[in-house]
Amino acid sequence: MGVPDSPDDRRPPARRLPPRRAARLARGAGAVSAGVIALAGCSQMNAALSKQSATVMFKPGTSAAAVLRVRLACSHVPNVKPPALKSQVSALDLASGLVFDVSSASLANEAQLQLCLQKYPAVVQSLNFNDISNGG
């Protein structure tokens, strides 16, 4: 066959599986891969279902500047993401309040946000935690 003591000479001949066994292995591999795909889909589904928000409502007549000050002051809370701002923000944009993403926040993080907002009683009217995955 070629050069003596080459890797080809030392390798045992390939063994063929009987057709039934090969078919069983293929079905088993297919079932395992389907299970892995299903689990990956479930984790993405759980992530989508666990979207949480904290909506901060402000008292009537609160200026956009005051809302932005509160947003900046409370944006340091870990795992609490303040809403992104457009380049031009008007009081009308902020009239519906600020919606923080607290999906990855712990109860302690939520308490920190609440404590931060309590420093602004003149402008903050309420804080509501919501499950936004099912519409609010």
Mean pLDDT of the chain: 78
Measure the CA–CA gap between 50 and 134, rounded to whole angstroms: 9
Residue 59 has what pLDDT?
92
Are 44 and 55 members of one domain?
Answer: no
Are 57 and 111 members of one domain?
Answer: yes
Does 73 fall in a domain? yes
Are 61 and 116 members of one domain?
Answer: yes
User: What is the average per-residue pLDDT within 80-99?
Assistant: 78
DSSP-derived 3-state class of residue 6? coil
Are 57 and 117 members of one domain?
Answer: yes
What spatial distance separates the first Cα and last Cα of the chain, rounded to whole Å? 74
Are 70 and 118 members of one domain?
Answer: yes
User: How many domains does one find in the chain?
Assistant: 2
Closest CA to 71 of 87, 60, 85: 85
- Highest mean pLDDT pick, 6-10, 82-86, 132-136: 82-86
Residue 100 has what pLDDT?
93
Kindly tell me if the per-residue pLDDT of 136 is higher than 50: no
Are 44 and 58 members of one domain?
Answer: no
Q: Give CA separation, 59 vs 69, 99, 121, 126, in Å.
A: 14, 15, 9, 8
132 — alpha (psi -120 to 50), left (phi > 0) or beta?
Answer: alpha
Residue-wise pLDDT tens digits, 26-75: 676 666 666 666 665 555 555 555 789 999 999 998 888 899 899 999 99
Are 39 and 62 members of one domain?
Answer: no
Q: What is the CA radius of gyration of the chain?
A: 29
> Which residues of the chain form beta strands (DSSP E)?
52-58, 98-101, 124-131
- Amino acid at site 86: K
Are 80 and 125 members of one domain?
Answer: yes
CATH number at residue 71: 3.30.70
Tokens of 77: 């809370």
Are 125 and 87 members of one domain?
Answer: yes
Is the pTM higher than 0.95? The answer reads no
> 100 lies in which domain range?
51-131
Are 55 and 40 members of one domain?
Answer: no
Are 59 and 101 members of one domain?
Answer: yes
Are 30 and 61 members of one domain?
Answer: no
* C-alpha atoms less than 13 angstroms from C-alpha of 111 in its C-beta half-sphere: 3
